């Protein structure tokens, strides 16, 4: 059975994991072996010719086994595999992006576990605002080397 999809998101495998996933235009998640991830791009159109399903704890997981570019998307990329070399790392998110994601996740987790915050009472928009503010905090404070003129040679006023 042939299934046509447009890729909405590409999520590379987490450290130590063998599979990443793509999310199609309907929000459905498709698992992909790590060495095949480079063959997918956001906005690309693909025809899934073969996939397998597996069930775990009441949820069905879909793993792509055979796919071909369908063309016509924003960008479509041919299915290709990449060797297990440092080249693969270059295609993953940058170290800067990973550190920012770790910062945001940790800070967001702390916010949600704060006894003064009731996550059940928050709307999705409230949580997204937390994330936007945490990203802005990262970018304005922790995202890179000191800016020219920021000699980091702070001193306390007398009497402190």
pLDDT at position 85, please? 46
Domain presence at residue 8: yes
Q: Give the start-end residues of each E strand in the chain.
A: 3-11, 19-24, 29-33, 45-56, 59-69
Q: How many domains does the chain have?
A: 2
**Where is pLDDT greater, at 93 or 116?**
116
Integer Cα distance of 150 and 146 in angstroms: 6
Domain of residue 131: give its range.
93-142
The model's pLDDT over 20-73, given as tens digits with 9 standing for 90+, comes to 999 998 999 999 998 888 888 888 899 999 999 999 999 999 999 999 888 644
State whether 8 and 52 are in the same domain.
yes
pLDDT at position 57, please? 92
State whether 18 and 50 are in the same domain.
yes
- CATH code of residue 28: 2.40.50.140
Q: Nearest 10 degrees: CA dihedral of 125, 131, 133, 137? A: 180
* Average pLDDT of the residues in 66-82: 57
State whether 12 and 72 are in the same domain.
yes
* Average pLDDT of the residues in 69-90: 48
State whether 73 and 7 are in the same domain.
yes
SS3 61: strand
Confidence of residue 86 (pLDDT cuts 50, 70, 90): very low
State whether 7 and 71 are in the same domain.
yes
How far CA 51 is from CA of 40, 56, 73, 89, in Å, comes to 16, 16, 22, 26
**Where is pLDDT greater, at 153 or 99?**
99
Domain presence at residue 59: yes
State whether 58 and 99 are in the same domain.
no
State whether 70 and 101 are in the same domain.
no
State whether 65 and 111 are in the same domain.
no
The model's pLDDT over 111-160, given as tens digits with 9 standing for 90+, comes to 888 888 888 888 888 888 989 999 888 888 876 655 555 555 555 566 65
Domain presence at residue 116: yes
State whether 137 and 109 are in the same domain.
yes
State whether 72 and 98 are in the same domain.
no
**Where is pLDDT greater, at 107 or 160?**
107
Domain presence at residue 31: yes
Dmax of the chain from CA atoms?
77
């Amino acid at each position: 059975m042939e299934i046509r999809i447009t890729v909405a998101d590409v999520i590379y495998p987490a450290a130590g994991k063998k599979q990443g996933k793509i999310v199609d235009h309907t929000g459905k998640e498709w698992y992909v072996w790590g060495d095949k991830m480079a063959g997918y791009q956001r906005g690309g159109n693909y025809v899934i010719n073969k996939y397998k399903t597996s069930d775990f704890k009441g949820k069905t997981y879909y793993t792509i086994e055979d796919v071909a570019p369908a063309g016509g998307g924003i960008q479509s990329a041919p299915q290709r595999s990449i060797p297990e070399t440092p080249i693969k790392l270059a295609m993953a998110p940058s170290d800067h992006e990973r550190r920012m994601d770790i910062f945001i996740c940790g800070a967001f987790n702390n916010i949600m576990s704060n006894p003064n915050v009731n996550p059940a009472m928050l709307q999705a928009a409230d949580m997204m605002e937390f994330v936007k503010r945490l990203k802005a905090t990262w970018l304005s404070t922790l995202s890179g080397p000191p800016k020219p003129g920021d000699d980091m040679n702070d001193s306390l006023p007398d009497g402190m």
